[in-house]
Amino acid sequence: MKPLQIAELKSVYEMLSLKGKVAFITGAAGGIGRSCAAALAETGADVVLMDIPSKADVLVENCERIEQKYQVKTTCITGDVSDEDNVEHMIQETVRRMGRLDVVFANAGIGGKNDNPSRMDLKDWKRVIDINLTGVFLVNRIAANMMKELGNGGSIINTASMSGHIINKGSRSAMNQHMVAYASAKAAVIQLTKSIAVNYVEDKIRCNSISPGMILSGLHDTMDMNVLEAYVRDSVPMNRFAALDEIIGIVVFLASELSSYATGSDFVIDGGVTIW
């Protein structure tokens, strides 16, 4: 097989396009979810926004804004990603309403509560693991099986974290709420991604993960901003938080044909934290 010549290369813009595709996004009421849903819509995908029932009004508003701005079809679904029957229903509903399923962004997640091993309640541990790990597994498995049944392949993108690679500096003090259960779950998501990738590769289903760093997305709203700002000054080589529009590019890339040879990989977007 000979390498392609310049005249034979596909158009970058055509490879980036998701026109005719359907994307399902969990955690779509939050900052990363809604921003990436909008980005996927801008590149042509019809989008299904999912979050918990208490966020239904926010989901409806996000759908309306995306549909109005990008002129794509949108719909929203509420449920619990840690409940197998819920996830099965949501994936079935996506296909029923939209006719197909091509891209899944398994992004729903929560931060830790009293996430210190010396005093953490087992129920708090289980809640983080159930949503941040089991929820990703259920969305991955059920969506991949649906893609396999439909026979059109697809791309699954999981939200891990830089905390799946490192233990954040300063974690023994005010940063501890993002450590034990959260870091354990996010590290497991990276390995889960690899396992899903290899198990579905013959079905033309790719699975990759992203590991964001300090992005002002809403996840940190309950944390002390002074502590966060000190962490950024001390630990982030770029010396700043990331904006939401700095995470959307990697998600669109992984959803599109531009990343057609990438599977089982984790992409770190952390301003350089994990360089150290």
Q: Would you please indicate which residues are annotated as catalytic (active-site) residues?
A: 161, 182, 186
Q: Which whole-number Å values give the CA distances from 112 to 62, 125, 246, in the listed order?
A: 26, 8, 24
Residue in 125, 246, 267 with CA at minimum distance from that of residue 190: 267
Cβ-Cβ contacts under 8 Å for 254 (sequence gap 6 or more): 155, 157, 206, 208, 210, 262, 267
Contact between 89 and 139 under an 8 Å Cβ cutoff? The reply is no
Q: What is the DSSP string of 119-142?
A: T--HHHHHHHHIIIIIHHHHHHHH
C-alpha 81/C-alpha 138 separation (Å) is: 7
Q: What is the largest CA-CA distance in the chain?
A: 63
CA distance 209 to 254: 9
Tokens of 184: 């354990």
- Judge contact between 73 and 46, C-beta under 8 A: yes
| Six token digits for residue 248 | 């959307």
Place of tokens 């929820």: 135
Q: How far apart are CA 54 and CA 63, in angstroms?
A: 16
The secondary structure element, H or E, covering residue 150 is helix 135-150
